[in-house]
Structure 1
């Protein structure tokens, strides 16, 4: 992690962006090369910017720090040891072993920096655990006893509407790949373990009875209420009924929408614009 020192008010960054694009694919350490090739531009920025560059733990960390220290208007601030995959490891013991491995690599990197008199002020890591959004994937993690974690409930849902029904076979929803992320698995249907969701393409999702039901059985969905925790009476599925989908992966699902609708006690209380949505930076 690097930061650019405050120097003077912003004038223009157009040349910075253009030059960066030309250089980013042809260098050993792209982020450092971009900084080096545009260091004069940073003298015009009255701001602190951050640049992240990933390297393997060990000697590469030291080489990166030395390259950064040699650049004008740039300072080396610290290392980031976040490993997001650890949060998707189901068993507590396996997850702990993976975390221990990351910690050990971090210790070695810090020791190399210390032995070479490189100051490292920031060490960041870890990740979000149980929190208010959650998703299906996180809810599949196990506790110390090997049982599913049930200490929380989701608060992020995608509200979907039934568009057509084949009795005893399937219902078609108006939520597909454009409305909910499937990269970490399909969503669950809130309150209905007897129903499963499958991909129906860009615009649609398919709901079918699970394997424990047979064709011809009646299936039940949540009524079209604006809060999934209120008035949960089962209705036979029909066109126009609404269902609450728990996303398989919360981050990319939120990124597909313009607004989050905040509901409390069955009443829409607020609308939050998702101003940070986009391809990322």
Structure 2
């Protein structure tokens, strides 16, 4: 059965892998990019099945216009994938105000507004699926990733709540939490803060060194991950989360276990504040 997908950021990373696989199997894709020329190759091969629009996720009014246009021209869209985003790394104090604003506007507010723009259409058509790309960094945290984590922990809370709000409309929500994958995320799309000398001995500096050296190869296969993301729409009810990659599993398991143990240790203290 042919499906129609709306995917932000289809020119690279998971968006590109998903789009290639979906077109190859005969599905339709409505994709957004900041540079339409970056999709010339796929557009030439799949002109009948690939609908493209230029979109910058920091432009909230444009998000609604593009989403409305896609549903208007394509009719029913079965799956909305909020994929576009990037990583901003460095110590929180090192970030410029402009970097902070752009990271939150893109990863968090842009994702929120994409989902909000699609919601009236999904309700009207009687259901659908929302897939939000997150990261293992949406459940775990590392020094040097504070603003990236802020955007991903924020969108995870948003999607968790929205999933409960819209289940009654036959709309399922899934968070995808990949570990490191062999896409252009780490060494091409990621951005670094300026450096303050005071942080040379801080663990926050490690992320600068890793990206600047460019020698660490992620373990994850993005093609395999894209296959699993696509296949998830056949599962009912929608899986709330997809952990992809052994690194994602181990990192999230360790930090979630530590958080749960810390909570259990405070049980008596928590109960002690209840009114008598």
TM-score, normalised via structure 2 length: 0.31
Considering fraction of residues, name the structure with more helix: 2
Higher RCO (C-alpha 8 Å, min separation 6): 2
TM-score, normalised via structure 1 length: 0.30
Computing the radius of gyration from Cα coordinates, the structure with the larger value is: 1
